[in-house]
């Protein structure tokens, strides 16, 4: 997360925390909607924001919000992997999870470099790198295991013990 986005996200989470502590669940949720816009591109922050939205929905006894947030918690991983993050979406169950939304001026400035295709390309490159590393480690381990099991010229394969010199 870029420094200015991180600072704005942390300030918004502080607003959420303060509202939650004073029992103002409406203000807490409003702060989370702003946090959601800032966090969408970042898996952990995005997931934590939806978890907090779920907790506010639970506190409000809002069944629609609770169910909507449970769905969104699962969808955050899919959205992160595929790069499908609807720009400006506030994340509440009162809006479609697929609907891009206009952003306020300060959020527009903070999110100006948002590019879904760049993010998808980066994630795809990372996934490919992880697969290649995993495959390489697996092949190396298999080769080492095969080499350890192959009897050497110095070992009698019937007894698996070194042969005595003649």
84-140: per-residue pLDDT in tens? 778 888 889 998 888 888 888 888 888 777 766 677 777 778 778 888 888 888 888
State whether 88 and 128 are in the same domain: no
Full domain range(s) for residue 38: 3-113
Residues 112 and 93: beta-carbon distance below 8 Å: no
Q: Are residues 11 and 43 in the same domain?
A: yes
| Pair (99, 82) in one structural domain | yes
- The total domain count for the chain is 2
In a domain, 165, yes or no: no
The verdict on residue 55 lying in a domain is yes
For residue 12, being part of any structural domain is answered with yes
pLDDT by residue (tens digit) across 16-60?
999 999 999 999 999 999 999 998 888 899 999 999 999 999 999
Tokens of 123: 């994630």
pTM reported for the whole predicted model: 0.69
Q: Sign (positive/negative) of CA torsion 118, 121, 125, 131?
A: positive
Co-location of 27 and 43 in the same domain: yes
E strand or H helix at 85, and its extent? none
Residue 35: inside a domain: yes
């Amino acid at each position: 997360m870029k420094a200015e986005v991180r600072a704005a996200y942390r300030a918004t989470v502080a607003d959420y925390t303060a509202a939650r502590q004073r029992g103002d669940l409406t203000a807490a949720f409003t702060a989370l909607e702003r946090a959601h816009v800032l966090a969408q591109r970042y898996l952990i922050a995005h997931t934590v924001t939806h978890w907090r939205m779920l907790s506010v929905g639970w506190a409000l006894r809002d069944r629609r919000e609770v169910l909507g947030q449970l769905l969104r918690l699962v969808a955050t991983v899919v959205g992160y992997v595929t790069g499908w993050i609807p720009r400006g979406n506030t994340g509440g169950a009162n809006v479609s999870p697929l609907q891009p939304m206009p952003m306020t001026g300060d959020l527009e400035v903070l999110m100006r470099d948002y590019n879904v295709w760049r993010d998808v390309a980066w994630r795809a490159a990372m996934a490919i790198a992880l697969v290649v590393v995993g495959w390489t480690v697996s092949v190396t381990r298999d080769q080492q295991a095969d080499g350890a099991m192959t009897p050497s010229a110095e070992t009698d394969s019937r007894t698996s013990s070194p042969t005595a010199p003649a």
